[in-house]
């Protein structure tokens, strides 16, 4: 959520930002907010004046009593009783307006960073760098689901009966490999000075609304029936939610945390759920990193966090590229974001394995996360990044390390976690 002062003082900047995100249908929100904000400020002015009048009347009552002017005192007392009723009526109107303004402000996109490329959708995202050499072997690379079934490492059919489409049972060496990859990511982040946290898997609506846009909520989140609870789509949400309504001292900044959790997603939209495979699922596992920091430091941490993900991918010997998201591909709360995409030798293209985002103060403003500094209290900046998401990253490992004999070579960095160096196809 942006600062309403931007709409008061520089509405054209906000409108231009909406146009850069190709959301012209939202332009009218600016005038709607301005109108309601003017009404709200007028009500606030009226209420403040009535409070001043109430104090003045109280003094007049005391003076009348001292002078024993009982008639005047009674008139003033009646007037004093009527003022709070008027204030209450005004405040009721103001509360309704505040809610309406907030709902409108939630729909206005965050101001994008000046470095974000302008583009309509994901087709106009910009490749920034490549790490590792994307190879295509001369022999056939099996689809990950086919390989997994051949070694008895997955059971889609039983999961379809117990849970439905978009789930599976991961078994044996593949389950160990997945766990090993996540443990490598966790240990790496701890060594980088990030505090390890296992968060709640359910969060309340006020946290959900604080960390993501309404469209994301509708497309992604599972609501617990009859409860004020949602299943988390990523540990970013409860990790950022930890700081809701808190004022952090300057000495406590930055907060660098890494969380592991299962993630649950409806995956409604253009992509849908695969019939058989690991790529798009209702449930997966992720090691995440979150930073709460000073506004002037957030892009320093943005670069640092990206390096961490690339280091983990390098340890797994997976070629990747960094694809910067253009303006039209940014969700409303994001100021800047990029995807880390893994190479698929079978498809001869890259696919998304994780993403990095600087929300600047959008989440902090919604959740009231502040820093207490020399100049008083101000909103923090929040960032989040995928360290490793499985089984999606495991697809890249299975393809890039698939050998001519059909086996999967386990990267050396994982040997101490797996206890084996190869997964052999039956």
Same structural domain, 167 and 229: yes
| Same structural domain, 153 and 65 | no
What are the backbone angles phi and psi of residue 405, rounded to the nearest 5°?
A: -80, 5
Domain membership of residue 366 as a residue range: 122-423
Same-domain status, 163 and 83 = no
Q: At what angle are helices 28-66 and 70-107 packed, to 10 degrees?
A: 160
Going by C-alpha positions, the residue among 392, 315, 358, 309 that lies closest to residue 129 is 309
Is residue 19 situated within a structural domain? yes
The stretch 138-153 carries a mean pLDDT of 94
Is 212 a domain residue? yes
Computed over every residue of the chain, the mean pLDDT equals: 94
Question: Could you tell me if residue 346 is inside a domain?
Answer: yes
Q: Check whether residue 25 and residue 135 sit in a common domain.
A: no
Q: State whether 336 and 207 are in the same domain.
A: yes
pLDDT tens for each residue of 180-232: 999 999 999 999 999 999 999 999 999 999 999 888 898 899 999 999 999 99
**Cα gap 236→191, rounded to integer Å:** 20
pLDDT in tens, 352-408: 999 999 999 999 999 999 999 988 999 999 999 999 999 999 999 999 999 999 899
My answer on whether 17 and 135 are in the same domain is no
Residue 225 shares a structural domain with residue 164 = yes
- Alpha carbons 37 and 32: distance in angstroms, whole number: 8
Taking residue 418's Cβ as centre, other Cβ atoms within 10 Å add up to 19
pLDDT: which is higher, 298 or 220: 298
Q: Confirm if 240 and 270 have CB atoms less than 8 A apart.
A: no
Residue 85 lies in a domain: yes
Query: pLDDT value at position 71?
Result: 75
* Residue 117 in domain: no
Q: What is the CATH number of the domain that holds 419?
A: 3.30.930.10
**pLDDT above 70 (res 274):** no
Domain membership of residue 305 (yes or no) is yes
Q: Are residues 242 and 388 in the same domain?
A: yes
- Is it true that the peptide bond before 31 is cis, omega within 30 degrees of 0? no
The rounded distance, in Å, linking the Cα atoms of 33 and 69 is: 49
Q: Structure tokens of 343?
A: 């190479």
Residues 35 and 181 in one domain: no
Tell me the pLDDT tens digit for each residue of 321-363.
999 999 999 999 999 999 999 999 999 999 999 999 999 999 9
Q: How far is CA 205 from the centre of its chain?
A: 14
pLDDT value, residue 33: 97
This prediction's pTM = 0.90
* Tens of pLDDT, residues 28-48: 999 999 999 999 999 999 999
DSSP string, 355-404: EEEEEETHHHHHHT-EEEETTEEEE-EEEEEEEEEETHHHHHHHHHTB-T
Is 390 inside a domain boundary?
A: yes
Question: Does 73 or 188 have the greater pLDDT score?
Answer: 188
The domain spanning residue 53 has which CATH number? 1.10.287.40
pLDDT of 272 over the 70 cut: no
User: Strand, helix or coil at 2?
Assistant: coil
Q: Does residue 112 lie in a domain region?
A: no
Q: How far is CA 242 from CA 77, 249, 292, in A?
A: 49, 15, 11
Domain count, the chain: 2
């Amino acid at each position: 959520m942006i600062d309403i002062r931007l709409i008061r003082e520089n509405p054209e900047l906000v409108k231009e930002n909406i146009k850069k995100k190709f959301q012209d249908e939202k332009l009218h929100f600016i005038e709607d907010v301005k109108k309601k904000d003017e009404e709200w400020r007028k009500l606030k002015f009226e209420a403040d004046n009535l409070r001043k009048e109430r104090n003045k009347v109280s003094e007049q009552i005391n003076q009348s009593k001292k002078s024993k002017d009982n008639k005047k005192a009674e008139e003033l007392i009646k007037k004093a009783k009527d003022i709070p009723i008027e204030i209450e009526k005004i405040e009721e109107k103001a509360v309704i307006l505040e809610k309406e303004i907030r709902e409108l402000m939630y729909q206005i996109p965050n101001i994008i960073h000046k470095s974000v490329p302008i583009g309509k959708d994901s087709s106009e995202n910009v490749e920034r760098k490549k790490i590792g050499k994307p190879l295509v072997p001369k022999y056939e690379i099996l689809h990950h689901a086919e390989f997994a079934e051949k070694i008895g490492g997955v059971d889609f059919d039983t999961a379809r009966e117990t849970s439905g489409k978009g789930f599976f049972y991961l078994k044996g060496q593949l389950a160990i490999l997945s766990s090993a990859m996540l443990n490598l990511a966790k240990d790496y982040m701890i060594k980088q000075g990030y505090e390890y946290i296992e968060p709640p898997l359910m969060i309340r609506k006020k946290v959900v609304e604080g960390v993501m846009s309404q469209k994301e909520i509708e497309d992604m989140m599972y609501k617990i029936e009859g409860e004020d609870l949602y299943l988390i789509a990523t540990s970013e949400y409860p990790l950022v939610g930890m700081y809701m309504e808190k004022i952090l001292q300057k000495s406590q900044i930055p907060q660098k945390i890494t969380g592991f959790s299962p993630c649950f997603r409806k995956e409604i939209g253009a992509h849908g759920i695969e019939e058989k495979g690991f790529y798009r699922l209702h449930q997966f596992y992720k090691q995440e990193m979150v930073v709460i920091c000073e506004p002037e430091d957030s892009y320093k941490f943005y670069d640092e966090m990206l390096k961490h993900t690339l280091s983990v991918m390098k340890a797994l010997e997976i070629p990747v590229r960094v694809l910067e998201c253009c303006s039209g591909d940014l969700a409303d709360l994001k100021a800047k974001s990029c995807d880390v995409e893994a190479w698929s030798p079978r498809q001869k293209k890259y696919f998304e394995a994780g993403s990095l985002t600087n929300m600047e103060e959008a989440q902090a403003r919604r959740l009231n996360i502040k820093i207490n500094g020399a100049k008083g209290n101000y909103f923090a900046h929040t960032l989040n990044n995928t360290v490793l998401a499985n089984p999606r990253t495991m697809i890249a490992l299975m393809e890039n390390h698939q050998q001519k004999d059909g086996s999967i070579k386990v990267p050396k960095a994982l040997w101490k976690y797996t206890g084996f160096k190869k997964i052999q196809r039956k």
